[in-house]
Amino acid sequence: MCVCPLWQALSLWVIFSVHVVSEEGDYKSLQNFSQQCSNGQLDKALLPLQGISLFLTNDSGVMEHKNSTYIVDYSIDEDIPALLDVFSGRLPPLNISCIVDMQNHLNFSWDTSGVPEHAQYSVSYLLCRDGEKVLESPKERLPSPVFSTVLGNQTHQDHIILQLNVSYPGVWYIQTQKWEILTVEKLDPPQFINTTIQSDQLYLKWDLPKSKHTKNPSCFRYELRINDEVRYLSKKLSHSEPNIDQTRTYKIQMRVKMLSFPCRGSIYWSDWTSVLNLGPLILQPDFHIGVMVTIALGLPMSLLAILLLCKFRPIHQD
Ligand SMILES: *[C@@H]1O[C@H](CO)[C@@H](O)[C@H](O)[C@H]1NC(C)=O
Ligand SMILES: *[C@@H]1O[C@H](CO)[C@@H](O)[C@H](O)[C@H]1NC(C)=O
Ligand SMILES: *[C@@H]1O[C@H](CO)[C@@H](O)[C@H](O)[C@H]1NC(C)=O
Ligand SMILES: *[C@@H]1O[C@H](CO)[C@@H](O)[C@H](O)[C@H]1NC(C)=O
Ligand SMILES: *[C@@H]1O[C@H](CO)[C@@H](O)[C@H](O)[C@H]1NC(C)=O
Ligand SMILES: *[C@@H]1O[C@H](CO)[C@@H](O)[C@H](O)[C@H]1NC(C)=O
Ligand SMILES: *[C@@H]1O[C@H](CO)[C@@H](O)[C@H](O)[C@H]1NC(C)=O
Ligand SMILES: *[C@@H]1O[C@H](CO)[C@@H](O)[C@H](O)[C@H]1NC(C)=O
């Protein structure tokens, strides 16, 4: 009964492999995860490449390797998604994201649309430098499509490789993917060190963002949100905003990202800073008048009321 979708998948697989890359020996190169740091196939193209192996149950009910191939990220090729949609949603590759933050948290997560509901996931990762393995994590089973861990002192290492095994009855689907840590670094939000309003200028100054890869101020770009307006800034550590209305409050937020040029950019923005409120420096004139009028009229009226109250209060003394 359930042979049909599997055969559909398989024929799809053949079309797919021919369409993209098809090489004998793909299974060999992907088979031993420990050796993937030196597998140049994973980063030989300019486009993101994923190595994929598929195991299916054969006629004797044994899991057997069916095919392995390298696939270019489907988001780049318009022809591919249509083909992939045939298999109850979507067959490979899974959209895996990898983030490393400044506290050395490493997070992987992936999109599970199209994956059968009761699929199980297990992952393992490698840290590589100069094509050599520095660390290999044990295989870990996961209840949900997220994996977080804290890296040790090895985060200056160049690359990270994930092996994700998605398994459900009759199928093991194994995706191997490599990232350069530099390109998935998520910076901390910038730190303001001076924020002032002077005459009609708003003046902002911030610290050089901390990155594991550079101390060059030209490497960063920023988004600065002043109330509802956004300013795009780069290669600087201060900004002054003209035409400030000293009677207004300004809500200020900023975030940062590494520039692709002249540096090697990251694909992630930092979080936004928390909201900084500046101003008003002087109170609204109409507020002044309002207060004055209230005081001027209110004070004598209340005195009068108190006087009257005292005068006509019934006195019961025994
Ligand atoms: C994998 O697919 C390719 C392309 O269709 C084919 O040439 C190759 O024989 C297949 N390998 C296996 C082990 O099925
Ligand atoms: C995988 O490679 C490692 C390191 O080269 C080796 O020690 C191990 O025996 C290999 N495993 C398999 C199953 O080939
Ligand atoms: C199924 O796979 C096992 C292990 O690879 C093999 O020994 C067996 O002959 C296969 N059965 C069929 C029907 O292909
Ligand atoms: C992959 O996931 C990321 C974040 O979850 C998303 O921004 C991106 O558009 C996705 N790519 C595709 C091809 O779906
Ligand atoms: C990684 O995941 C942990 C736990 O879910 C979370 O606290 C942390 O903010 C995440 N880090 C990044 C960079 O996404
Ligand atoms: C990282 O290095 C510092 C100083 O060399 C050391 O104190 C710390 O324990 C190390 N952390 C890990 C996770 O290895
Ligand atoms: C994939 O996961 C299944 C279920 O956990 C496991 O039995 C199988 O050995 C894994 N396959 C590989 C090649 O790691
Ligand atoms: C902040 O910047 C303003 C404008 O340049 C300057 O007048 C002021 O002295 C600075 N304050 C500090 C604490 O650096």
Ligand lying closest to the C-alpha of residue 66: 1
Q: Which two tokens stand for residue 164?
A: 């994700």
250 strand-pairing partners: 278
- Kindly report the CATH number assigned to the domain that includes residue 238: 2.60.40.10
149, 227: one domain: no
- As for how many domains the chain has, the answer is 2
Q: Among 34, 115, 172, 176, which residue has the most ligand 7 atoms within 8 Å of its CB, making it the best to mutate?
A: 172
Domain residues for 262? 187-278
From ligand 2's centre to the CA of 164, what distance in Å?
A: 18
Q: Is there an atom of ligand 1 within 6 Å of 17 CB?
A: yes
193, 179: one domain: no
From ligand 3's centre to the CA of 175, what distance in Å?
A: 23
**pLDDT per residue rounded down to tens, the chain (318 residues):** 333 344 444 334 433 443 344 445 788 889 899 999 999 888 866 666 788 888 888 899 999 888 787 776 555 444 444 333 323 334 557 889 999 999 999 999 998 877 888 899 999 999 999 889 999 999 999 989 999 999 887 666 689 999 999 998 888 889 999 998 888 999 999 999 999 998 889 999 999 999 988 899 999 999 999 999 999 999 999 999 999 998 999 999 999 999 987 788 888 999 999 999 998 888 765 555 555 555 566 666 666 666 666 665 655 555
Q: What are the Cα distances from residue 105, in Å, to 175, 187, 229?
A: 22, 11, 32
Q: Where are the alpha helices (DSSP H) in the chain?
A: 3-19, 26-31, 80-84, 285-312
Question: Which atom number of ligand 6 is nearest to the Cα of residue 152?
Answer: 13
Question: Which atom number of ligand 5 is nearest to the Cα of residue 100?
Answer: 13
Last residue of a domain, one of 155, 184, 213: 184
Pairing of strands 220-226, 49-57: unpaired
119, 42: one domain: yes
45, 78: one domain: yes
Residue 313 lies inside a defined structural domain of this protein = no
Measured CA to CA, the distance from residue 69 to residue 181 in angstroms comes to 24
Residue 312 lies inside a defined structural domain of this protein = no
Residue 283 lies inside a defined structural domain of this protein = no
161, 256: one domain: no
pTM of the complete model: 0.76
From ligand 3's centre to the CA of 1, what distance in Å?
A: 21
